[in-house]
A and B are shown apart, each in its own frame.
Chain A
């Protein structure tokens, strides 16, 4: 996480001041709102951060598998900036954390190779006044819904932060000779296996490193996605994403579920 400057626009400052006087806004549904309250938290306001980022170009070698570090950095920094700005807004509100974070990417016509990365969520604060900020002293972030947040707390965990790791990897093209040599055979391609395997492992490692920096006990809801963006089929972004959690000393109060057979549609 970078030490981003306090660079919020004025209109956003004013909106946050109004919120501090008691009114809250949130995109939580009624169900989620009640469960967040039940978990002992109060919603403070909708917070967001965005960053419009131009991704540079990096030359790739036709026949070589390698990570494209410049593109990896771009994809990572853009999301990180959006997240940091959202955290700033939450800090401004005195929040302990942000739940229901959504990360989106918008492409605009005016910006070739430029994309807007947005993070939106609902800032919450513990009602007992004890700080629940994470190991870095910042509000925790998580993509958990109100229902998941309640369940997680009942299981004795607290979210620490939305963690991610990304890796943009160029997979080598095969030379003509290699292709010919294997035509008509169904065999494993060790080079492809190695490259695609490694790219995924790097993304997952980076996500785990982020979690370790937060002193997390683990990551829940981790997902792994592949995107080729506009780079052609041999250049792939692997993105790993999840919510880092830490164990609390709270009582585990989740009762065993009751089985029902629903007669609804």
Chain B
């Protein structure tokens, strides 16, 4: 540290010039992207730009399917009505999202957030994502417009490595867990014993749901499914029903496959350690 007076900060010349230039533009450019809305972060937008894609619009699709609440209580095997309602709720929501994407001339939808609620009386699905397309590209035939829950960053990384998303594949199965006979329940009260009725119901639901998801992927001519989200287990409103659902993005290779060739880094970051003002309560 010396005693010389502070001098103006030297800064990389390019950036401040770019800042001044950008801020000097007083009028909006009424170009192709006028009125564009996107929920991508600036990072995601720039990653898309770097592969010559751009967001087109924020798109939404939702559906609410009513199911008679009596179906959850009694029966055996699969609760077909519930599985069908779940499939329809997704199908309608995806179709509406897809239609909005087609309407803005997008080639696909990335970063789809899936909000799904299963209640005794209805099943709700809401999808929110960003429609994207290569910069200055023409619209694709409707059937080729994809829907994917992969974030824009993952989409770009796949793209660079020579893969592309095709569709969202969903599989679900709801199954009755048969009640144990009263005698069996009494006998087992003091024992350590596997509740085979639940185990079997869960196995059956899982097998059916995964099979449905895979079939959806094959129907979409995909090579595989990545980033599968699985939820399984009992339904809080129905003691004798079990649900298993899975969804993920179907991907397929493009002719431009290549290595992404990662570098290695060592990070000197810690998790944020600045103190929380809330602790001053």
Contacts and interface: CB of A to CB of B under 8 A. Distances in A.
A247 interface: yes
Taking chain B's interface residues, is the majority helix, strand, or loop, or is none over half, making it mixed? loop
Contacts of A35: 268
Interface residues of A, number: 38
A225 B270 contact: no
Contacts of A101: 275
Interface stretch (A66-74, A133-141, A144-152, A182-190): A144-152
Interface stretch (A3-11, A54-62, A102-110): A102-110
Interface in A96-131: 100-105, 128, 130
A14 interface: no
B280 A225 contact: yes
Interface of B: 1-7, 9-10, 12, 15, 47, 153, 157, 262-263, 265, 268-270, 272-275, 277-281
25 contacts: A29-B270, A31-B269, A32-B270, A35-B268, A100-B273, A102-B275, A104-B275, A132-B1, A143-B274, A143-B275, A145-B270, A145-B272, A146-B270, A147-B268, A147-B269, A156-B9, A223-B277, A227-B281, A229-B281, A239-B280, A249-B1, A249-B4, A249-B7, A256-B12, A263-B262
A62 B281 CA distance: 24
Contact of A105 (B12, B157, B274, B280): B280
B268 A130 contact: no
Contact of B270 (A147, A223, A248, A263): A147
Taking chain A's interface residues, is the majority helix, strand, or loop, or is none over half, making it mixed? mixed
A106 to B, nearest CB: 10
A260 interface: yes
A206 to B, nearest CB: 15
Interface in A174-192: none
